[in-house]
Structure 1
C-alpha cells in the first residue's frame, strides 16, 4: 500500500505530488491523457507585464520536479472505480487496482455544451477542443472560425487561436433558450466581458471596463461590437444555426436587443470553416460521487462541488480534492491548492514532523493571495463562495456528530 494516489496530472495534481514527496511520501499520479500537465498544456498567453506564459513549459517544470522526487506518474490510465477501505482507499484503473493510505482527486473541469442546430456537423467543436488542437497538437482547427459564447474562456482562447495563425471572424452569443440561459443574455455577458477589460489592448476598453455598468454597457454596446486584438466581440448578435452540407460552412446570425430578443428581418449568414461553442466549465466530480462524498451546489464555483474545508479534506477520511474539481479557477490557484492537499495528506500520515500547522497555514495563505492576484476570475464572488463552502463543511461535521 502506497502513501498517496493522485487522480489527475494537471497543476493541482502535480503540485500536490511535489509537496507530498518533498515530505517523504510515496506518491503515484494517474491521468487518462497521454501527457502530464492537464489544462496547462493548452495555455499560451501574455501577462499585463508583457511576460508570456507557456503552459507546456510550466507543465514540464512541474513534471521534472515530481520525477526528481521519485513520483510515479502513469499517463494513459483511466480510473473507473474507488472503494474506501478500513485503512485507506482502493483505486481501480484500466491497468490495475492500487491501494493507498490517502487519495487525492484532482480531476479538473469539463466543458458545458450548448446545443445549437447544426452542432453535429464536422468542424463544430467545443472551445477547449480547439485550444488543445492548436496549442497542444499544433494543428489548426481551421482557417476562419466563429466562436459562439462570450465568456472568460472564449475570449482567452480566441486570442490563443489567433496566435496559432487562425482568423477569428467574431465571438457572439448563442440563441436564447432554456439551456443557454444567461449565456444568451447581453447584460449578463457584459458582466463577464467587463471582468476581462483589463486584458484589452485598447486603453478605451480598459477605462470603460472600470466605470460602465453591465446594463448600461449592454444597451450602449454597438451592434458590430468592440474589437480585442482585432477580434469582434458581438453582444448584440446571436447564432441561430450552424450551416453546411457535409461540414461547417458558416453560421446564420441575427441582431438582438439588450434584453436578448431577436430582431426580425436581421438574419444573415456569415462564412466560416469551423465553429467553436463556448458554454463554460463545470467541476468534473464523478469520481467524488462514486467515492460517496457529500456535495454542495455553489453557482460561483461552477456547480456541484465536493464538500471540503480549507485543508482540501472532504468528509471522507483520507480523501482530498484540489483544483477545478473544487470550483473553476485559474491553473495557478489549482497548483497552490494542490500544495495544501499534499501537505495535509503528509500531516495525516505523520510525515510533517515539525511545524506542520505552520507549513499548511502558509500554503493556505498562498492560495488566498494567488486567488486575489488572479489575472482572470471565471465568476464573481469566488472568495465569498469559498467561505460559504468551508462553513458548510464544518456545519455538516457538527450535524454528523450530533446524530
Structure 2
C-alpha cells in the first residue's frame, strides 16, 4: 500500500503552488481535482490591473501546471473526494476512484457561489455569474445576446467586463429586491459602502476621485439620495443602486425581467415596474468558502464575515489544529487568486518542513509567510472589507484552540 507524503485536494492556484514546493523538496505528492482541467477559478479570469497590465488566468494556470508537470507531479483530474478519514498515523482520502493513504493533507477546495433567489430564477437562461464566466472564458460558449446582472459587488463588476470583452451585450447591473436571503445585497447603503472600496478600478477618473470621499457615511447617503436615474456607467454599462430586479419572466426560457425603483433604504417604489427584454440573467450573490471536507475530518471553525463565512481555524503557516491537515486558498477566506497562490506556497513549504525538518526550508517558509501579507496588502481588489481584522480573529482562535488542546492533554 502506497502512503503519500501529502495528498492535495484542489488543483487551483493554491493546490498547484503547494505541489510545486513539495515536489521541489522531493516529497511524494498527488493532486486531486474533480474538474477535468487544472487551474480552478484561474481558468475563467481575465481582467486589467490598475497598472494597465492584463491578468490572464488561463496563462497563469498554464505556467503553474507546466512547472508542476516538469517536476513529475502526479495530478489526477476528474476525481471527486467525498470523505477524509483520520487514522492514528495517517489519513485515508475517499474518492470515487480509489482510496489514497497519506501522512498529510492540504485542502485547497476554493469557494462556491451563493446566488440570490429571485422569482423566475429556475428558467433556462438564468445562471450564476461564475457559470457565465466559465462558459465564456473556458468553454468559449456565448451565454446569450443581451442580458442583465442581478447583484452589485466586486465579483459581478469584474466578470461583467469579461462578458463585454467577449462581445456580449449587458443592459445593466442592478440590485435584487429585498427578501430574507438577500437582505444585505438589496440594501443600497451597504452596497455603496462596498463598492467604494473598488471604485479606484473604474475607467472614469471622476468615479475614482469620488471614491476617496465615499468612505464617509454622510457622503454615501448624499450620493444615494442624488444617484443618477440612468445609473453610473462603467464601460458603457449602467450600474443601478436605485433600481432592483423584482422578477424574471418567461415561459420556456428567459424573455425579460421586471425592474423597479427602490429608495435609499431598498424599499420598492410603488407603480415603478418596467419590463426589460433580455435573453439571459446572471445572478451574483457572492462567494463562500467550500469547507465541507475540513469539517468531516474534524477541523474546528470560526465564523468571519470579513472572510466570507465559516473558516477552518489555521495559523500563518496554514496548519489547522488537526495535526497533518493544512488549508490554503479561498477555503481560508475569499481573496484574490494571487493570495491563494502565495498561501499555497506557504502550505507546501510548511509540509516540506514538517517532513524534512530543514533549516533552509524554514527560512523559505518564513519568507513565504511575509509574502502572503505583502500580496494581500498590494491587492487591487478585496472581496470583503476588514480582511486583515478577519485574519487576526482566525489567528487568535488558533492560539486559543491549541492552548485548550494542551490543557486537555495535561488533564488526561
Q: Please state which band the TM-score falls in when normalised by the shorter chain.
A: over 0.9
Matching residue of 1:393: 398
- Normalised TM-score (structure 2): 0.96
2:347 alignment partner, one of 341, 346, 349: 341
1:332 alignment partner, one of 338, 351, 372: 338
Matching residue of 1:358: 363
- Aligned pairs for 1:170-209 (under 5 A) are 170-209=172-211
1:198, 1:206 within 8 Å by CA — same for their partners in 2? yes
Once the two structures are TM-superposed, the CA of residue 19 in structure 1 deviates from its matched residue by 1.1
Once the two structures are TM-superposed, the CA of residue 344 in structure 1 deviates from its matched residue by 0.6
Matching residue of 1:290: 296
1:65 alignment partner, one of 23, 44, 67: 67
2:259 alignment partner, one of 244, 248, 253: 253
Superimposed CA distance per residue, residues 347-402 of structure 1 (whole angstroms, 9 cap, x where no aligned partner): 1112x523333211100000000000011000111011101111111111111222
> Is residue 233 of structure 2 the alignment partner of residue 227 of structure 1?
yes
> Is residue 387 of structure 2 the alignment partner of residue 382 of structure 1?
yes
> Is residue 102 of structure 2 the alignment partner of residue 97 of structure 1?
no
2:285 alignment partner, one of 270, 279, 282: 279
After the TM superposition, which of the residue ranges 102-111 and 189-198 deviates more from structure 2? Answer: 189-198
Give the distance between the partners of 1:19 and 1:340, measured in 2 at CA: 9
1:223, 1:255 within 8 Å by CA — same for their partners in 2? no
How large is the RMSD of aligned CA atoms in angstroms? 0.9
1:132 alignment partner, one of 131, 134, 145: 134
Once the two structures are TM-superposed, the CA of residue 234 in structure 1 deviates from its matched residue by 0.3
Once the two structures are TM-superposed, the CA of residue 27 in structure 1 deviates from its matched residue by 1.0
Give the distance between the partners of 1:11 and 1:60, measured in 2 at CA: 10
Give the distance between the partners of 1:341 and 1:255, measured in 2 at CA: 48
Once the two structures are TM-superposed, the CA of residue 52 in structure 1 deviates from its matched residue by 1.2
Once the two structures are TM-superposed, the CA of residue 231 in structure 1 deviates from its matched residue by 0.9
Matching residue of 1:121: 123
Give the distance between the partners of 1:17 and 1:398, measured in 2 at CA: 31
Once the two structures are TM-superposed, the CA of residue 240 in structure 1 deviates from its matched residue by 0.4
2:109 alignment partner, one of 89, 107, 111: 107
- Aligned pairs for 1:70-81 (under 5 A) are 70-81=72-83
Give the distance between the partners of 1:311 and 1:386, measured in 2 at CA: 13
Give the distance between the partners of 1:171 and 1:196, measured in 2 at CA: 16
Once the two structures are TM-superposed, the CA of residue 82 in structure 1 deviates from its matched residue by 0.7
Give the distance between the partners of 1:223 and 1:399, measured in 2 at CA: 56
Once the two structures are TM-superposed, the CA of residue 63 in structure 1 deviates from its matched residue by 0.2
Give the distance between the partners of 2:112 and 2:4, measured in 1 at CA: 29
Give the distance between the partners of 1:159 and 1:111, measured in 2 at CA: 19
Superimposed CA distance per residue, residues 195-216 of structure 1 (whole angstroms, 9 cap, x where no aligned partner): 1211111110110011123333
Aligned residues: 402
Matching residue of 1:53: 55
Once the two structures are TM-superposed, the CA of residue 54 in structure 1 deviates from its matched residue by 1.1
Unpaired runs of 5+ residues, structure 2, are none
Once the two structures are TM-superposed, the CA of residue 310 in structure 1 deviates from its matched residue by 0.6
Give the distance between the partners of 2:227 and 2:41, measured in 1 at CA: 33
> Is residue 171 of structure 2 the alignment partner of residue 166 of structure 1?
no
- Aligned pairs for 1:141-160 (under 5 A) are 141-160=143-162
Which stretches of structure 1, 4 residues or longer, exceed 6 Å deviation after superposition?
A: none
1:239, 1:251 within 8 Å by CA — same for their partners in 2? yes
> Is residue 250 of structure 2 the alignment partner of residue 244 of structure 1?
yes
1:176, 1:260 within 8 Å by CA — same for their partners in 2? yes
1:150, 1:171 within 8 Å by CA — same for their partners in 2? yes
> Is residue 317 of structure 2 the alignment partner of residue 311 of structure 1?
yes
